[in-house]
Amino acid sequence: MTYYLMQDSEVLTTERCYIRELLNDPSLPEASLARTRVMPGVTTELHALSVLEWYVIESGQGLMRVGDAAPYPVGPGDSIEIPAGIDQQITNVGDGDLLFLCVCVPRFEALKYLSRE
Protein backbone atom coordinates (compact mmCIF):
# COMPACT_ATOMS: atom_id res chain seq x y z
CA MET A 1 0.00 0.00 0.00
CA THR A 2 1.20 3.49 -0.82
CA TYR A 3 0.02 6.51 1.13
CA TYR A 4 0.09 10.01 -0.38
CA LEU A 5 -0.19 13.16 1.72
CA MET A 6 -2.57 15.78 0.37
CA GLN A 7 -1.94 19.49 0.53
CA ASP A 8 -2.88 20.88 3.97
CA SER A 9 -4.80 23.87 2.68
CA GLU A 10 -6.18 25.42 -0.45
CA VAL A 11 -4.17 28.01 -2.37
CA LEU A 12 -5.53 31.10 -4.14
CA THR A 13 -4.27 30.89 -7.72
CA THR A 14 -3.84 33.43 -10.51
CA GLU A 15 -6.69 31.51 -12.13
CA ARG A 16 -9.03 33.35 -9.67
CA CYS A 17 -9.97 30.24 -7.74
CA TYR A 18 -8.79 28.24 -4.73
CA ILE A 19 -7.16 24.86 -5.37
CA ARG A 20 -6.29 22.08 -2.95
CA GLU A 21 -4.16 19.29 -4.38
CA LEU A 22 -5.54 15.96 -3.16
CA LEU A 23 -3.22 13.74 -5.20
CA ASN A 24 -0.42 14.99 -7.41
CA ASP A 25 2.83 13.09 -6.99
CA PRO A 26 5.67 12.61 -9.51
CA SER A 27 5.79 8.93 -8.54
CA LEU A 28 2.22 8.58 -9.88
CA PRO A 29 2.38 10.31 -13.30
CA GLU A 30 -0.81 8.71 -14.64
CA ALA A 31 -3.23 11.15 -12.99
CA SER A 32 -3.79 13.92 -10.46
CA LEU A 33 -6.77 14.99 -8.36
CA ALA A 34 -7.56 18.42 -6.93
CA ARG A 35 -10.54 20.20 -5.39
CA THR A 36 -11.34 23.66 -6.74
CA ARG A 37 -13.44 26.38 -5.11
CA VAL A 38 -14.78 29.37 -7.05
CA MET A 39 -16.43 32.16 -5.09
CA PRO A 40 -19.84 33.58 -6.12
CA GLY A 41 -19.74 35.87 -9.15
CA VAL A 42 -16.18 34.90 -10.09
CA THR A 43 -15.13 33.69 -13.54
CA THR A 44 -11.91 31.70 -13.74
CA GLU A 45 -9.11 32.61 -16.10
CA LEU A 46 -9.59 31.44 -19.68
CA HIS A 47 -6.96 28.73 -20.15
CA ALA A 48 -6.08 25.39 -21.70
CA LEU A 49 -4.14 22.38 -20.44
CA SER A 50 -1.95 20.06 -22.48
CA VAL A 51 -3.60 17.12 -20.68
CA LEU A 52 -7.13 15.70 -20.56
CA GLU A 53 -9.11 17.12 -17.63
CA TRP A 54 -12.41 16.17 -16.02
CA TYR A 55 -14.48 18.42 -13.73
CA VAL A 56 -16.89 16.69 -11.34
CA ILE A 57 -19.22 19.27 -9.80
CA GLU A 58 -19.80 18.67 -6.08
CA SER A 59 -21.87 21.73 -5.11
CA GLY A 60 -22.95 25.10 -6.41
CA GLN A 61 -24.06 26.32 -9.82
CA GLY A 62 -21.80 27.21 -12.70
CA LEU A 63 -21.71 28.27 -16.31
CA MET A 64 -19.13 26.17 -18.17
CA ARG A 65 -17.32 27.18 -21.34
CA VAL A 66 -15.36 24.53 -23.28
CA GLY A 67 -13.84 25.41 -26.64
CA ASP A 68 -16.10 27.20 -29.12
CA ALA A 69 -19.33 25.72 -27.70
CA ALA A 70 -21.88 28.05 -26.11
CA PRO A 71 -21.54 28.23 -22.31
CA TYR A 72 -23.88 25.81 -20.53
CA PRO A 73 -25.14 25.42 -16.94
CA VAL A 74 -23.55 22.85 -14.63
CA GLY A 75 -24.44 21.70 -11.12
CA PRO A 76 -23.96 18.94 -8.55
CA GLY A 77 -23.33 15.53 -10.10
CA ASP A 78 -22.34 16.86 -13.52
CA SER A 79 -19.08 15.66 -15.09
CA ILE A 80 -17.39 17.67 -17.82
CA GLU A 81 -14.69 16.31 -20.13
CA ILE A 82 -12.18 18.92 -21.29
CA PRO A 83 -9.90 17.60 -24.06
CA ALA A 84 -6.22 18.54 -24.06
CA GLY A 85 -5.48 21.87 -25.74
CA ILE A 86 -9.08 23.14 -25.61
CA ASP A 87 -9.90 26.48 -23.95
CA GLN A 88 -11.94 26.30 -20.76
CA GLN A 89 -13.50 28.62 -18.22
CA ILE A 90 -16.16 28.39 -15.52
CA THR A 91 -18.27 31.08 -13.82
CA ASN A 92 -19.93 30.68 -10.44
CA VAL A 93 -23.49 31.88 -11.05
CA GLY A 94 -24.84 30.78 -7.66
CA ASP A 95 -25.05 32.40 -4.23
CA GLY A 96 -22.60 29.97 -2.57
CA ASP A 97 -19.20 28.58 -3.44
CA LEU A 98 -18.85 26.39 -6.53
CA LEU A 99 -16.90 23.24 -5.58
CA PHE A 100 -15.63 20.65 -8.02
CA LEU A 101 -13.01 17.96 -8.41
CA CYS A 102 -10.43 18.22 -11.19
CA VAL A 103 -8.95 15.01 -12.54
CA CYS A 104 -6.02 15.38 -14.96
CA VAL A 105 -4.71 12.53 -17.11
CA PRO A 106 -1.73 12.42 -17.07
CA ARG A 107 -1.08 14.38 -13.87
CA PHE A 108 -1.17 18.18 -13.76
CA GLU A 109 2.08 20.14 -13.78
CA ALA A 110 2.33 23.94 -14.03
CA LEU A 111 4.15 23.75 -17.37
CA LYS A 112 1.03 22.10 -18.84
CA TYR A 113 -1.07 25.24 -18.14
CA LEU A 114 -1.55 27.88 -20.82
CA SER A 115 -3.27 31.18 -20.00
CA ARG A 116 -5.44 32.57 -22.80
CA GLU A 117 -5.81 36.02 -21.21
Q: How far apart are CA 114 and CA 38, in angstroms?
A: 19
Q: What is the pLDDT of residue 8?
A: 75
Q: List pLDDT tens digits, range 52-78.
A: 999 999 999 999 999 999 999 999 999
Q: String of b and e for 32-57 (b: at least 16 CB within 10 Å)? A: bbbbbbbeeeebbeeebbebbbbbbb
Tell me if 70 is assigned to some domain: yes
Tell me if 92 is assigned to some domain: yes
Q: What is the pLDDT of residue 47?
A: 98
User: Would the CA dihedral through 108, 99, 58, 90 be positive or negative?
Assistant: negative
pTM of the model: 0.93
Helix (H) or strand (E) run with residue 33 in it: strand 32-38
Q: What is the pLDDT of residue 78?
A: 99
Q: How far apart are CA 97 and CA 61, in angstroms?
A: 8
Q: Which domain CATH number covers 78? A: 2.60.120.10
For residue 112, give the 3-state DSSP assignment.
Answer: helix
Q: What is the pLDDT of residue 9?
A: 87
Tell me if 98 is assigned to some domain: yes
Q: What is the pLDDT of residue 100?
A: 99
Mean pLDDT of the chain: 95
Q: List pLDDT tens digits, range 3-21.
A: 666 667 899 999 999 999 9
Q: How many domains would you assign to the chain? A: 1
Tell me if 10 is assigned to some domain: no
Tell me if 59 is assigned to some domain: yes
**80 has a pLDDT exceeding 70:** yes
Tell me if 56 is assigned to some domain: yes
The domain of 41 spans 16-115
**1 has a pLDDT exceeding 90:** no
8 Å CB contact between 107 and 71: no
